[in-house]
Amino acid sequence: MPETPQQHATGARADDLDTAAVNSLRTAIMRLSRRLRHQRVDESLSPTEMSVLGTLARCGSATPSELARKEYVQPPSMTRIVAMLEAKGLVRLEPHPDDRRQKTVTQTERAESMLAASREKRNAWLAELAGRLDDDEWERLRAAAPVLEKLAHS
């Protein structure tokens, strides 16, 4: 029975092919991610600011502390990021419904529009790249998408 990546990671069996495959996958994902990040509508926003807006779009309103946890940054850093996004009219701070000492961060319609335009631009760029694949490569990539999604959310 083939070794699973988990067995490999625990040292059950060293296999150069698996190591090479993991290295190749890591490198490809990093390069593609970097190139994809450059396909933005608003160049004035940092990747972190875009990520925070994306988190708000996916998860809804959140406190700065919740955003800091989700984005893996320190709370003081998130406070600065939220202040910059607020100054740009992309988020608004509202009273927390249960705790008057806290604020809730909510994205604005302007942020929603900008994210939609950015998504559209990135999708078009990626579709253009995928259009260069042959039918077999495209099918394998489509089949890999749910697996990559699972890894991304692990």
pLDDT number for residue 1: 46
φ and ψ at residue 73, rounded to 5 degrees: -125, 165
**CA 79 distance to own-chain centroid:** 20
Q: Is 81 exposed, middle or buried (0-12, 13-18, 19+ CB in 10 A)?
A: buried
pTM confidence score = 0.73
Every domain of the chain and the residues it spans:
1-37, 38-152
What is the CATH T-level fold of the domain 38-152, as seen in this structure? Arc Repressor Mutant, subunit A (1.10.10)
Q: What is the mean pLDDT of residues 32-51?
A: 86
Per-residue model confidence as pLDDT tens digits over 57-83: 999 999 999 999 999 999 999 999 999
Query: What SS3 state is found at 92?
Result: strand
Q: Cβ(64)–Cβ(78) under 8 Å?
A: yes
How far apart, in whole angstroms, are the C-alpha atoms of residue 82 and residue 106? Answer: 10
Residue 5 — pLDDT band, cuts 50, 70, 90? low
Contact at 8 Å (CB) between 41 and 117? yes
pLDDT for res 12: 47
The one-letter amino acid code at 2 reads P
pLDDT tens column, 109-136: 999 999 999 999 999 999 999 999 999 9
